[in-house]
Structure 1
Amino acid sequence: MEGRAKQVVIVGGGISGMTLAVALRRQGVAAHVVEKARPEDQLGTGINLQNNALRALKQVGLLDDCLAAGFPWNSVVTRDHKGHVLDERTLPWTLEPGIPGALGIMRTTFAKILADHAEREGVDISYGTTVDKVDQHADGVDVQLSSGESLRADVLVAADGVYSPLRNLVFGTEHRPFYAGQGVWRYTVPRPETLDGFTMFRGPTGGAVGCLPLAPDTAYFFLLESSVSPIRFEEAELASALAERLAPFEAPELRDAVAKIDEGRHISFRRFDILLMPQPWHRGRVVLLGDAAHSVTPQLTSGGGMAIEGAAVLAEELGRHEAVAALSAYGKRRAERVRTIYDNSLRICELEKDPTSDGSESVKLFVESFKLLDGPY
């Protein structure tokens, strides 16, 4: 008779993979993370974690360090292009003691917290390594690594992102990420003292620039850009292209950011390639997690949160059921919630590209989505 998983190999050391590894170790399950990048290669600007993600981090025992390193916030302020306040609203969460409505944090800081906890919990981590071959058997999975090492696991987790090589290897390439018609500019800056929550600056003729605090001394501005086909920029073009797009905004915080745009602060532009894999999310003992299963547009700032929730749920189910049954239970438990957030995020993205939209449908979708996220995962 099959038993519960005792050894899990996780391919991908990002948010979902490392969160799962920590959760499993705290249940007494051995975890081995295989990550193609090296710790010093971690990139990224920042990430916003909504209250639902923070609840999941608390469940796994990761919340306190994240709160200490990031910037908690509970309100959304809307300003015009000159910086005048138009509206201020408190986040619609049912707050538990000690858990804010949301948290901004640097991705590199968050990654280090996850890796440090994983190492302290005794997770084996193979950096600079990929998977060459997978062989499934009735009682386990054999995993051949690029390093020449062979691993045996009860469960193999594909947590290696939206372009997941492991997903392609095991599930095939029928379902591929597709371009959602938008991309995002991100620009890391010293946090303006006047911005202590999530702030949106409305453009004089449409469009908007957002600001998310990431730490007491750090924030990032972001700007969505729509296009029929993907836009690409060379590294040397980023600063001037972003400055051009910020030119219509006269708010002092944005003028100061533009004035310092050549000082080497991190600027990035990333297109939105998204995917929602059909159920089931497992093939035998191989299961998809995080962006490998569901990569969403960022309108609801829930991509990372969905990955963290998924890791917490998968760990729970592996602790409750025999291995393959646990994978099925995890997929069924996540399916409807993930589908709704994926659909609503994409619909809001499409409405943002529609010049005839008056915003009413977007507001309705935001309310519906936050009501769902406020509930159990």
Structure 2
Amino acid sequence: MTTAPAPAPSGVPSTDADPFSHDVLEDPLPLHARLRDAGPVVYLTRYDVYAFARHEQVHAALTDWQGFESGAGVGLSNFRHEKPWRPPSLLLEADPPRHDAPRRVLSGILGARALRRLREQWAGAAEELVAQVLAGGTTELDAVPALAQAFPLRVFPDAVGLPPEGREHLLPYGDHAFNAFGPSNDLVAKGAPRVAELSAWVNARCARGELAPDGFGARIWEAADRGEITYEQAPLVVRSLLTAGVDTTVHGLGAVLYAFATHPEQWARLRAEPRLARVAFDEAVRWESPVQTFFRTATTEVALPGGVVVPAGCKILMFLAAANRDPRRWADPDAFDLSRDPSGHVGFGMGIHQCVGQHVARLEAEALLTALARRVETIELAGPTRRHHNNTLRAWESLPVRLAR
């Protein structure tokens, strides 16, 4: 549901386009191009918010946490005036100093030492999964459940320390959490009947007694023992892992598998140069942007090029996906190209709030893509694809592919 369109501020390009409509969620690229071409800032009359779609402004807003706060919520709702549907994230929806200790703890837990420990283990798990799906020569399968969902749901909850039972709750919980960053539309309503059930399950899994003693979750609680965070903060930090650590990686893997299925020459290059697996994942994150948008709130008046001033207290919708295909930043931005250096994309955010688990996601992708490249000669689409609509995420519901050995 939306309110009546607000009058556009004088001197600011405006549009009544709805970035959360199903037409745009199905194909956001035309709107992104119009927003970039309109100027450095555009006013969205439907939601009474300002929008940044060019890389320069999105990058600047992401890195300026003092001027563009996250503590008022990274969705359309303004936590200064509206009660959030759950306690805000200490990582995503908090600013310094409240943000600092939880971020520092989680950064250490998900750092280089953890990745070294997991590399061999996840490589083996990827080999096992690929062997299972390739049980007989040329194989047709839906890459979303068989690969993009199956691998993260297998290895990441293990790393956190979750028991095997109930992991299927993580995807619908994350789907609703990311839908809730948008307006109260039909996508939010779709998830509402299960919110209480899914939230209760996730919250229960954050308790110390539910977590294996050698996982990320247990290490978060150990940080509380050392006084690095409080015991009240510990379950909220674990919850951040469970909320944002699965869906985003699932959709990133879906993006890179789709990219290779539609760009056979790039798949051939990866097979010849397996070291490009991480570059491929980052290029797919830039190209498809699994996380399409996030909001910030202006803490003061912000002057932009052209004399436009964003008033204090206003919400700003940052189009990460539009920034990632901005021709002002990228040469041939609509191409998926392993010869590109994709560093500088904003698909994982930027600044102090950038995705704390991005290196974990890259390791998952590297393991799966390396295992596939070792055994799969070609990947091609094997039928009609279907998008999964979400207010924040760019996702696939179904991605039929043919894998030939």
TM norm structure 2: 0.25
Higher helix proportion (structure 1 or 2): 2
Between structures 1 and 2, the one with greater strand share: 1
Structure-1-length-normalised TM-score: 0.26
Higher RCO, 1 vs 2 (CA within 8 Å, ≥6 residues apart):
2
